Structure 1
Amino acid sequence: MSWRRHISGCVFSLVFVVSYFTNKFVLSVLKFTYPTLFQGWQTFIGALLLLLFWKLGWVEMSRITRYCSETQRIRNQEIPFFFTLQNSSHVVSYTILKVVRREKMRWMTFISICLMLLSAINLPLYDPQFDNSGYLWAVAHLFCVGAYRVIQGHYQPSNLSDLEIQCINYLFSFLLLAAAAHPTGDLMAAMEFPSLQSYTFHCGCCASALLGFLLLLATVKLKSGISLEHFRIWCFISKVSAMCLSPLVFSMEINTPSLICVLLSHVGEALLVYSDREPQF
């Protein structure tokens, strides 16, 4: 029924917003600047809970590197800027599909891609809190997200469900991040982190891991009940909600040019969502 799909969409949006806000709080407000440990903790808890739910029969699984760059980005950038740059990953996806599969692009899709690309290029020029490190991680992140979107959409094994693939991602990412924790210096530096014994810090880390897992379940539940086009609409609504609410939760510095970049990027994303719903002739 349609009302059940709307409830699933609203739950997804709520968990989406709270999850990103919690990550932003731990990374920016509490200043836990160790991405391998933070994402390693999240992937470990995610894999553990997913396997536990499978054993209990609450989810079905017949079979059993992009994380660090995302962590660095959301720590160094405001949430509206984070999503604006993340939108440019669509440019990477469509470029790969154009080169590898020579897929034709609708004119509306081309316009939306141009808007997102121009917004991402101009945003660093007007960002009042420009951070070179944050934007370097942003480039790595958008390339990883763009490439992963192509793999997930066109080369995903047909015999694996979304939960099974995510479980593999969790386990592989945890092993990779655990191996990288010492060489990057995160492990030793985190031991001297001033808030390591803080109750707020522990609650924030636990909440971030749990919310990440709940977001996965909400995503799978929503995708199973609606079309891919409608799922993209809910993702867009969730991102816009997070951007609109973020100034009420976090202190932000934003000027008119950077706001225009944010708006144009999401106008481009809205056009992309709309163009994907239109039949191609």
Structure 2
Amino acid sequence: MCVRRSLVGLTFCTCYLASYLTNKYVLSVLKFTYPTLFQGWQTLIGGLLLHVSWKLGWVEINSSSRSHVLVWLPASVLFVGIIYAGSRALSRLAIPVFLTLHNVAEVIICGYQKCFQKEKTSPAKICSALFLLAAAGCLPFNDSQFNPDGYFWAIIHLLCVGDLFSVLDFPFLYFYRFHGSCCASGFLGFFLMFSTVKLKNLLAPGQCAAWIFFAKIITAGLSILLFDAILTSATTGCLLLGALGEALLVFSERKSS
């Protein structure tokens, strides 16, 4: 079982890394920035692969009534916002910057759980939220490659992600796929979603959070070597502060699980 969990975790990290690097390459280097086409292509590929997986018995899809589908409509709208805004932001921002801003969605989720679900929040989780907010808030003032459009779309993206996780129950767990681009991106997006579901089913929340954190670290680090990213000492400090905040989040999840 331990070996199986490790294999699932490594598969998730590989899909996470490949998906982000492929999308960044197509969006930034090839300049293919058409979010509507991204969304349509990724949904088409994902839908076909999901149907094939269901036919092969790899996944289980429960049939739902029309009333249940209507409940999913608000989540579908937010999903469109995630795809569109995420692709716009990633085409203009370095991957480490994008991931640091994306982590603010965790603060939205934490705030919703604290204020509306009255969940008890550990000191480590509160410190994590403060660090994540501070890191994201300082980035625009210290980013030598500051792009106002990129930051604007990143804010829209993280708001959609935070609202989707906090309020709504969306059936197919497409949250981790922000955009599609080429055929490879469509397939990688699906396998990233598939490996994420397997990760969440096999591992405890704290272990799952640790694998996600590890995937983000290796993706951000490798992207600096592959793409044009100028990191000043101030920008690096913001990124490290964000990493510290997420590390505290992982610690709090492992402690509570």
Which TM-score bucket, shorter chain as reference?
0.7 to 0.9
Shift of the alpha carbon at 1:277? 2.0
- Aligned counterpart, 1:46: 46
Q: What secondary structure is seen at the aligned counterpart in 2 of 1:36?
A: helix
Q: Which residue of 1 aligns with 2:145?
A: 129
Name the amino acid aligned to 2:242: S
Alignment of 1:143-162 (within 5 A): 143-151=159-167, 156=169
Shift of 1:147: 1.5
Sort the Cα spacing of 1:107 and 1:58 in 2 relative to 1 into closer, same or farther, 3 A. Answer: closer
What amino acid sits opposite 1:6 in the alignment? S
User: Are 1:275 and 2:225 matched, yes or no?
Assistant: no
* Separation in 1, partners of 2:103, 2:256: 23
3-state SS, counterpart of residue 103 of structure 1: coil
1:2 lines up with 2:10 in the alignment: no
Counterpart code for 1:129: Q
Aligned pair in 2 of structure 1 residues 81, 94: CA closer, same or farther (>3 Å)?
same
Distance, in Å, in 2 between the alignment partners of 1:106 and 1:222 is 24
Question: In 2, Cα distance between the equivalents of 1:80 and 1:279?
Answer: 28
**Residues 93 and 150 in structure 1, CA contact (< 8 A), matched pair in contact too:** yes
Given the alignment, which residue of 76, 89, 92 partners 1:73? 89
Match of 1:109 in 2: 125
1:2-48 per-position Cα deviation (integer Å, ceiling 9, x unaligned): 11111111111011100100000110000111111112211121012
Compare 56-65 and 103-112 and name the one that shifted more.
Answer: 56-65
Give, as a single letter, the amino acid of the residue that structure 2 aligns with 1:81: V
What is the TM-score with the length of structure 1 in the denominator? 0.79
How far did 1:227 drift?
A: 1.1
8 Å contact kept, 1:39–1:71: no
Would you say how many aligned residue pairs link Structure 1 and Structure 2? 238
Q: Measure, in 2, the Cα distance between the counterparts of 1:279 and 1:37.
A: 41
CA distance in 2, matches of 1:267, 1:232: 14
**Counterpart of 2:113?**
97
Structure 1 counterpart of 2:31, one-letter code: K
Give how far 1:244 is off: 1.1
- Structure 2 residue 23 is the aligned partner of structure 1 residue 17: no
- Larger of the two Rg values belongs to structure: 1
- Aligned residues with identical type, % of pairs: 41
CA 1:253 to 1:3, structure 2 compared with 1: closer, same or farther past 3 Å? same
Instruction: Out of 103-112 and 269-278, give the one that drifted further.
Output: 103-112
Asked if the contact 1:24/1:75 (under 8 Å) is kept, the reply is yes
Q: Which moved further from structure 2: 269-278 or 95-104?
A: 95-104
- The CA distance in 1 between the partners of 2:150 and 2:224, in whole Å, is 20
Measure, in 2, the Cα distance between the counterparts of 1:219 and 1:63: 22
| Cα distance between partner residues in 2 of 1:105 and 1:224 | 24
Take 1:58 and 1:115, find their aligned partners in 2: how far apart are those partners?
A: 39
Q: Is the 8 A contact 2:209 2:253 kept in 1?
A: no
In structure 2, C-alpha distance between the alignment counterparts of 1:68 and 1:278, rounded to whole Å: 35
Task: Give 1:82 deviation, angstroms.
Answer: 0.6
Greater Cα offset, 52-61 or 246-255: 52-61
Bigger shift: residues 10-19 or 50-59: 50-59
Letter in 2 for 1:213: F
Give the structure-2-normalised TM-score.
0.86
Q: CA deviation at 1:63?
A: 2.1
Taking the TM superposition and a 5 Å limit, the aligned residue runs for 1:1-281 are: 1-63=1-63, 65=78, 66-151=82-167, 156=169, 165-166=171-172, 205-279=182-256
Superposed CA offset, 1:88-108 (max 9, x none): 111111222222123332211
Question: Any gaps of 5 or more consecutive residues in structure 1?
Answer: 158-164, 178-203
TM-superposed CA distance for 1:130, in Å, is 0.9
Work out the CA distance in 2 between the residues paired with 1:105 and 1:241: 29
